[in-house]
Structure 1
Amino acid sequence: MHALQSRTSAAEVAHPPAGISSPPAGGVVDRMAEFMREHIAAAGSVTFDDLAGAGFTAAEIIEHAYTAAYHAELRMNRRDDGLDRIDGIIVKVRSANPDAMPLTAGATDSPTMRSEWRAYCRAVAAYRVDPWSFQLRRVEERLDQFLRRLPLLKSERQKAARAAVNELAKGKAAR
């Protein structure tokens, strides 16, 4: 199985390939599509072994992978309103660009929120200059303050925080 590299066109969304319908919520296709979307955001691709490791049987993978891949790609491309999904938030948190603040549906862009995002970005910059444990704790605290302003689940906040810390650890290891 390969990564979902091509983007779905508007025609494909309006008229899905033959034999593909909306998956039932919580069904195998739905769960597999969600796993694929999250894994591609984190690792860049999905393999048979990744799906098997997530608990899908070989029969389920063979039977449902094509349909699940289609639905995963639809989910990855769903937001056209400039707002971020968790994978977009993770990308922005990793880059820590003061001009690219993540914003989700239901969140209000406010001066306080922008101030907290800039404080996080400054903490990341300080850590990159002088990587020691106090600086890393400061990064984590600033990020937590910012993420609590977004309507995210606790698991999503933790996922974004882990991604930021892992990114900083990679930078420290490269020194």
Structure 2
Amino acid sequence: MLNQADFRSPQTRPVFPEDADDAHPRCREMAEAMRDLFAVGGGVRGKDLVGAGFTWAEIAEFRDAAAKLASTASVRQVNARPDLMADIIEKARAPLPNRPPLPRDTKETQARLVDWGRYCTARAALVLDPWPGQRERCLGLLSLYLNRLPIFPANREAVIKAVEQTLPQVAQ
């Protein structure tokens, strides 16, 4: 009678089975099919995978690993680039409270968001009810926000002048 130890390989496995590179080719195919099905229909069901050419046995064997591979392949890291001068001018001309201009070496802090929100509010109020005091308040709040950014004074003035041209003209 043969002993079970006779069938074991003396070699050890160099990689873990959880490694993405060691995935079964059919598992990788299922992961791509899952990504495609999710993009089209917003979800992946067993019968969708059967329709894509997989057997129920393959689905049972590879479903979890393929879902993990599909999820890993679908995640994309996005790093926002710092705002250039043209971006700062554009954001100041059409301000949105959740998109403050942030040049290089500038972090989005609570104080900056509050200052930017004040400018956005003043700008919206000026559009609804233009009067000279509100126009000056709007420019003052923009200047306050820009003074806290690490940009040159000449650039601050250029932004303020560009924004001033787009503000509604009001009679005194």
Counterpart-to-counterpart distance in 2, 1:166 and 1:97:
18
Question: Deviations for 1:79-134, whole angstroms, at most 9, x for unmatched residues?
Answer: x8421011100000000111211101121210000000000000000110111110
Return the TM-score normalized by structure 2.
0.51
Question: Deviations for 1:45-78, whole angstroms, at most 9, x for unmatched residues?
Answer: xxxxxxxxxxxxxxxxxxxxxxxxxxxxxxxxxx
- 5 Å-filtered alignment, 1:132-143, equals 132-143=131-142
Counterpart-to-counterpart distance in 2, 1:95 and 1:132:
19
Greater RCO (CA < 8 Å, at least 6 residues apart): 1
Structure 2, unaligned runs of 5 or more: 1-78
Find out whether 1:129 has 2:128 as its counterpart: yes
Counterpart-to-counterpart distance in 2, 1:113 and 1:103:
10
Counterpart-to-counterpart distance in 1, 2:106 and 2:148:
7
Q: Output the aligned Cα RMSD.
A: 1.6
Counterpart-to-counterpart distance in 1, 2:128 and 2:136:
15
Counterpart-to-counterpart distance in 2, 1:89 and 1:123:
18
Match of 1:68 in 2: none
* Equivalent residues of 1:147, 1:157 under 8 A apart: yes
| Number of residue equivalences | 92
Compare 139-148 and 160-169 and name the one that shifted more. Answer: 160-169
- Which has more radius of gyration? 2
Percent of pairs with identical residues: 29
Match of 1:164 in 2: 163
Match of 1:152 in 2: 151
- 5 Å-filtered alignment, 1:1-175, equals 81-169=80-168, 172=169
Letter in 2 for 1:143: L
Match of 1:47 in 2: none
Counterpart-to-counterpart distance in 2, 1:101 and 1:114:
7
Return the TM-score normalized by structure 1.
0.50
Runs of at least 4 residues off by over 4 Å: none
Counterpart-to-counterpart distance in 2, 1:153 and 1:130:
32
1:166 CA displacement:
0.8
Counterpart-to-counterpart distance in 2, 1:141 and 1:119:
10
Letter in 2 for 1:140: L
> SS state of the match for residue 100, structure 2?
coil
